């Protein structure tokens, strides 16, 4: 008779089997790190076992994968005392799924303390993700220290054309990734290559999403410039930095289709060969193994699913009892309360010399703007809102907190507010060159806006709107975009002003005579002016009108004020269809402009002012049309 086996023995056997599998078998999504840098910031080299710092690090590594896997990016902090606080960041490759991102981040969170034991700062790169932590705040800070170059071991048989196409591809990828945040600062692409064996070059670039667009571009261009030093004549390479990374190969290695494509021009002048490489020690990296058997894979998937379920439950209960606060801070600022943004009324009275007319910058439907100087010497612009706006103080405080988080080089920065008694004041950065209309529509000043400057202003406004609509933490529909609300800095770079003010006031308080819409006639689309319906496509329409004004050098309302019954849109459309757009270009340009760019802007303007909102492009599409040399409209213009 066979010996009896108790249920407790069976459970114990199952437990031992599970433990042995967990120890002996890696999960299917586990990957070897490509590279790592430990103690990356110098200073104190190690933390003590069972210390507060170690506890905070575990807390952060526990939370970041769960918070970052959905969007592919997250940064956060853990700990209150400065000496024990830990800053962390996770980034997944932009083409991987949320599941693959989570698997990679879970692996990294588990392995980084083992890879860099005791390190107070570390960064580790995998094929699908990157994890970084430090005892020093590094969010939004450019870095040129934490970097590792890796190159393919196989050599090219031809260098000149390869270098030319690679340079073109990388330039397009950088432009796409850096200035298209809706793509999560990530871009993939391919370039034609006239080699019978390998007809394309494949590339990928990515920046950490805490970087600004300009810092992203600088980072990527910097490491691309180093390609000749470490990968001269190689069939592929990648460069890993804490703030950005690139990769190119002669085979497709990314998921999905290419975002950017570069054709091979038969008439292109061949580029000179890359400069000879400097003698740089080769970086050491580990290769991923793909030898998992089918049986092990099946077991690993089941175990991985079970562990993921347990992990999610742990995260849920941990978050419920955690008193550390929210560790995932997607915004680059830590603006959470109105207190950090409040100015005293006495400070602003002193800054503006008691709102003296000498410091008056302008008047508008929402209030009067004054120039001022803070005790630190900083120049500011103070908007004194009209009394009786109907806006509750608490509601206005909440709006100010949200709007102060908007940060973009083409958007005027809201610095804070003053809410004392009946006074409601908003404090902005000061922009010295007044507004666009003062240059564009003044015959004595319009010559300062040559075509190159106008094109840069158009692109800047487009990028600012793209940020407000799609990339900022606060989604803002401007509702009153026009030349007088575009400010110009010392270098005549454009900055959108009065952004979000329509959110701060009741809808029936407006610049125009309607009780349903906030805005200026001539810039408002029909669905907004007649029915009060607005969306991001409202701003797209206004942008289209602004672009046409930039080309013609005339206000849109100048047409309605004239004896002619033709409005600006009809005028431009008639000349566009007749092929005579050169007849309506601003004469102050003196004929000095590239015809293709002018026609492109007119075409984009007409696309933006189409009657049906759904027919108008998004601002992301507009930015791509303005910045891409391969835009399909170009051949039609």
208, 129 contact by CB (below 8 A): no
Phi, psi angle pair for 90, to nearest 5°: -130, 145
CA dist., res. 60 & res. 315, Å (int):
12
Spell 497-525 as b/e; 16+ CB within 10 A means b.
bbbbbbbbbeeebbbbebeebbbbebbbb
As given in the structure block, the two tokens for residue 132 are 């970084």
Please indicate whether residue 498 is annotated as part of the active site.
Answer: no
CA-wise closest residue to 31 among 239, 352, 286: 286
72, 89 contact by CB (below 8 A): no
* Sequence-separated contacts (24+) of 394-399 with Cβ below 8 Å: 396/424, 396/504, 397/338, 398/338, 399/500, 399/503, 399/504
CA-wise closest residue to 144 among 59, 219, 253: 219
Is 200 annotated in a binding site? The answer is no
At residue 49's C-alpha, the angle toward residues 47 and 51, to 5°, is 70
Selecting among 106, 480, 539, 586, the annotated active-site residue is: 480
Positions of E strands within 307-391: 360-364, 367-373, 379-385
Burial class (CB in 10 A: 0-12, 13-18, 19+), 108: buried
Pairing outcome for strands 122-125 and 129-134: antiparallel
CA dist., res. 175 & res. 195, Å (int):
26
94, 72 contact by CB (below 8 A): yes
Number of DSSP helices (H) and strands (E) in the chain, helices first = 18, 18
583, 575 contact by CB (below 8 A): yes
Return binding residues for ATP: 383
């Amino acid at each position: 008779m066979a010996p009896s086996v108790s249920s407790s023995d069976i459970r114990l056997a199952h437990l031992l089997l599970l433990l042995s599998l967990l120890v002996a078998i890696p999960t299917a999504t586990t990957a070897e790190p490509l590279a790592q840098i430990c103690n990356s910031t110098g200073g104190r080299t190690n933390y003590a076992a069972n210390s507060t710092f170690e506890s905070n690090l575990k807390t952060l590594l526990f939370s970041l994968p769960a918070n970052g896997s959905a969007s592919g990016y997250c940064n956060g902090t853990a700990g209150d005392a400065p000496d024990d606080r830990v800053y962390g960041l996770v980034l997944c490759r932009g083409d991987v799924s949320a599941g693959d991102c989570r698997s990679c981040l879970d692996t990294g969170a588990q392995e980084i303390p083992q890879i860099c034991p005791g390190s107070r700062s570390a960064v580790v790169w995998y094929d699908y993700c990157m994890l970084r932590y430090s005892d020093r705040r590094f969010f939004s800070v450019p870095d040129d220290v934490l970097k590792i170059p890796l190159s393919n071991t196989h050599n090219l048989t031809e260098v000149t054309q390869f270098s030319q196409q690679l340079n073109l591809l990388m330039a397009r990828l950088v432009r796409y990734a850096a200035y298209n945040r809706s793509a999560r600062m990530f871009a993939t692409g391919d370039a034609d290559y006239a080699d019978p064996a390998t007809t394309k070059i494949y590339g990928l670039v990515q920046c950490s999403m805490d970087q600004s667009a300009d810092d992203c571009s600088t980072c990527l261009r910097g490491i691309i410039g180093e390609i000749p030093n470490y990968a001269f004549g190689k069939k592929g390479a990648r460069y890993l930095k804490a703030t950005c990374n690139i990769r190119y190969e002669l085979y497709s290695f990314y998921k999905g289709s290419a975002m950017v494509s570069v054709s091979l021009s038969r008439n292109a002048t061949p580029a000179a060969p890359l400069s000879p490489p400097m003698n740089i020690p080769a970086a050491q990296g580990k290769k991923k193994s793909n030898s998992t058997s089918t049986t092990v894979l099946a077991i690993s998937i089941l175990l991985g699913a079970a562990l993921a379920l347990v992990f999610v439950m742990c995260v849920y209960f941990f978050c419920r009892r955690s008193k550390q606060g929210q560790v995932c801070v997607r915004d680059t600022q830590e603006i959470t309360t109105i207190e950090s943004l409040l100015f005293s009324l006495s400070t602003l009275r002193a800054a503006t010399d008691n709102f003296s007319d000498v410091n008056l910058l302008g008047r508008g439907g929402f209030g009067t703007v004054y120039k001022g100087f803070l005790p630190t010497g900083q120049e500011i612009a103070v908007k004194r809102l009209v009394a009786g706006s109907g806006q509750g103080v608490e509601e206005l405080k909440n709006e100010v907190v949200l709007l102060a988080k908007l940060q973009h080089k083409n958007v005027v920065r809201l610095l804070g507010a003053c809410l004392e008694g009946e006074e409601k004041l908003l404090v902005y950065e000061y922009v010295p060159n007044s507004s666009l209309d003062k240059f564009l529509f003044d015959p004595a000043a319009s010559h300062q806006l040559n075509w190159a400057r106008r094109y840069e202003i158009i692109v800047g406004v487009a990028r600012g709107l793209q940020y407000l609509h799609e990339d900022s933490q606060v989604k803002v529909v401007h509702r009153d975009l026009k030349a007088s609300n575009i400010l110009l800095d010392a270098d005549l770079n454009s900055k959108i002003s009065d952004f979000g003010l329509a959110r701060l006031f009741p809808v029936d308080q407006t610049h125009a005579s309607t009780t349903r819409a906030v805005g200026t006639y001539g810039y408002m689309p029909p669905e907004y002016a007649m029915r009060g319906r607005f969306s991001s496509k409202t701003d797209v329409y206004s942008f289209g009108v602004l672009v046409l004004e930039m080309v013609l050098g005339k206000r849109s309302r100048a047409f309605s004020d004239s004896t002619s019954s033709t409005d600006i849109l009809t005028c431009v459309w008639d000349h566009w269809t007749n092929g005579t757009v050169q007849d309506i270009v601003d004469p102050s340009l003196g004929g000095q402009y590239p015809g293709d760019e002018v026609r492109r802007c007119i075409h984009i303007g007409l696309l933006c002012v189409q009657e049906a909102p759904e027919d108008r492009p998004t601002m992301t599409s507009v930015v791509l049309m303005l910045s891409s040399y391969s835009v399909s409209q170009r051949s039609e213009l």
